[in-house]
Structure 1
């Protein structure tokens, strides 16, 4: 049986991933449905090592999603300020 602290970690991770899924760039991917399916698949885990492994996978998904959002913002800024040739230095 999972400890109360582990349960709270999992719930917090789920909430964070759910919030991140709101801004997911591809609506056809159906981020929330896949997220819920993964959590429901693992809800009957009892082995602490397996639970920790599932939590680490969720944290990895969180980090990759955050990296995807950062990359999207960077690309948007790069499009907003196109590369122009540098101005001639003043004499």
Structure 2
């Protein structure tokens, strides 16, 4: 990748911070956990460890996005339940 690990980390942090605004469980402290995770890894110098930390951050981002999609899907299913008396499409 052409961008520096620092820029990738900053971009990832910003994305995770934005995603945390809508986190469904306020007691989880999403922002605090993300901040501590990034602060813990701020002194990494080994490129391999940096890349591994960035991959973990991407994984967390993707899992959070999947959680939001599932939440939206469940909300729609509750709002528009399948009725048994509707004609089936054969």
Find the aligned partners of 1:59 and 1:47 in 2 and give their Cα distance: 18
Q: TM-score, normalised by structure 1?
A: 0.90
Find the aligned partners of 2:9 and 2:81 in 1 and give their Cα distance: 43
Unaligned residue ranges in structure 2 (runs of 5+):
none
Find the aligned partners of 1:17 and 1:38 in 2 and give their Cα distance: 11
- The alignment covers a number of residue pairs equal to 86
Find the aligned partners of 1:15 and 1:36 in 2 and give their Cα distance: 11
The runs of at least 4 consecutive aligned structure 1 residues that moved more than 6 Å come to none
Q: TM-score, normalised by structure 2?
A: 0.91
3-state SS of paired residue (2:53): helix
Unaligned residue ranges in structure 1 (runs of 5+):
none
Larger radius of gyration: 1
Matched, 1:52 2:51: yes
Matched, 1:85 2:46: no
Q: Which residue of 2 aligns with 1:62?
A: 61
